[in-house]
């Protein structure tokens, strides 16, 4: 597996997003099977594994911790703080909570669940409008000084917020949605990260599955699947947006690749400090995704993709309105 740098943190060119193993995209996966999948990713050279206290809550961190304990020194574990979750019961109280004392409490609890003595990359999951970002960065800076955290990250933060945080504690990576289906970060986020030397970790790099070509307007999701509530996954939006999938399929046919591989290769080709974290519960999909690192898109390929994509009008918001309000973008 090729390597890339998020700031000064070296990781595999593709990471593994573990959220979906504990739900969100339907029912949770079998624990033993998910542990085996995570370890299979390690065997194939993946070193960056992404989780969060909010996934479950708590159970995804426990899963990742158990899976990676035998190979802890070979991997980079990224987790997150920032939602208002009862530390004892896991009950979601709604909204955000990045008060410094809460950040510390989350870090201590995450360390135990992850079976480790340090969190390699600690993201603020969502910007807290009630806590100055300087106070958040300062709290993480203290944890870094104590050796409990290695690197500081932000998720779904605006460029101005990134700059303010970076002035207090160096930001190693920013995580936000980014793909051929959602290119919003190109306006302000990507240029800011390039200027400051911060790495970018796109989540939903396959458009929550849409860019794989396996979803259309007739697809039925499990009743617990969050995509049932996402505007861009309504039948009408899916039908309208299939033009983008058709474009990816055409490129895939020329490259003897799959649509998923082309979508990931496109991200990898944007900047050398971009590290996508596609998620999956299946070994064959894991291997398919990792194969994207071997798909070469030339400057000509990228120009043709951009030209064709610019002629497609995409429909539907990327998240429900109430969730979009919680981002800092």
Q: List strand residue ranges (DSSP E) for the chain, in order.
A: 3-6, 9-12, 16-17, 48-50, 76-81, 83-85, 92-96, 119-124, 149-155, 171-177, 199-203
Q: In 10 A of CB 50, how many CB atoms?
A: 25
Give the residue among 51, 35, 53 at the shortest CA–CA distance from 43. 35
Q: Is 89 helix (H, G, I), strand (E, B) or coil?
A: coil
Q: What is the 3-state secondary structure (H, E, C) of 114-162?
A: CCCCCEEEEEECCCCCCCCHHHHHHHHHHHHHCCCEEEEEEECCCHHHH
Tell me the C-alpha to C-alpha distance, in Å, between residue 327 and each of 79, 82, 227, 230.
17, 12, 18, 15
Q: Is 53 helix (H, G, I), strand (E, B) or coil?
A: coil
Q: Which of 25, 55, 123, 178 is catalytic?
A: 55
Euclidean distance between CA atoms 303 and 323, whole angstroms: 33
Euclidean distance between CA atoms 281 and 100, whole angstroms: 35
Q: Please, which residues bridge with residue 96 across strands?
A: 83
Q: In 10 A of CB 165, how many CB atoms?
A: 26
Euclidean distance between CA atoms 141 and 52, whole angstroms: 19
Euclidean distance between CA atoms 141 and 150, whole angstroms: 9
Active site residue 55: yes
- Known catalytic residues are 55
């Amino acid at each position: 597996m090729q390597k890339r740098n998020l700031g000064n943190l070296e990781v595999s060119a593709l990471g593994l997003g573990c959220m979906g193993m504990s739900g969100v995209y339907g029912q949770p996966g079998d624990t033993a099977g998910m542990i085996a999948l995570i370890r299979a990713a390690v065997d194939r050279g993946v070193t960056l594994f992404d989780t969060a206290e909010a996934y479950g809550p708590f159970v995804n961190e426990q899963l990742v911790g158990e899976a990676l304990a035998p190979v802890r020194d070979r991997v980079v574990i990224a987790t997150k703080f920032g939602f208002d979750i009862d530390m004892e019961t896991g009950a979601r109280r709604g909204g955000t909570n990045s008060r410094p004392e809460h950040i510390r409490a989350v870090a201590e609890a995450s360390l135990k669940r992850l079976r480790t003595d340090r969190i390699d990359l600690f993201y603020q999951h969502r910007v807290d409008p009630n806590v100055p970002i300087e106070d958040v960065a300062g709290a993480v800076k203290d944890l870094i000084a104590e050796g409990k955290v290695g690197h500081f990250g932000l998720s779904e933060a605006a460029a101005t917020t990134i700059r303010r945080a970076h002035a207090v504690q160096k930001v190693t990576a920013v995580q936000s949605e980014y793909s051929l289906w959602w290119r919003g970060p190109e306006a302000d986020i990507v240029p800011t990260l390039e200027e400051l030397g911060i790495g970018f970790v796109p989540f939903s790099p396959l458009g929550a599955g849409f860019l794989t070509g396996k979803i259309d307007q007739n697809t039925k999701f499990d009743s617990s699947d969050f995509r049932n509530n996402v505007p861009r996954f309504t039948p009408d939006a899916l039908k309208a947006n299939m033009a983008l999938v058709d474009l990816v399929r055409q490129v895939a046919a020329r490259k003897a690749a799959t649509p998923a591989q082309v979508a990931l290769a496109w991200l990898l080709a944007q900047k050398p400090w971009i590290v996508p974290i596609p998620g999956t519960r299946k070994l064959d999909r894991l291997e398919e995704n990792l194969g994207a690192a071997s798909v070469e898109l030339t400057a000509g390929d990228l120009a043709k993709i951009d030209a064709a994509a610019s002629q497609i009008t995409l429909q539907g918001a990327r998240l429900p309105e109430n969730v979009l309000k919680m981002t800092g973008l």
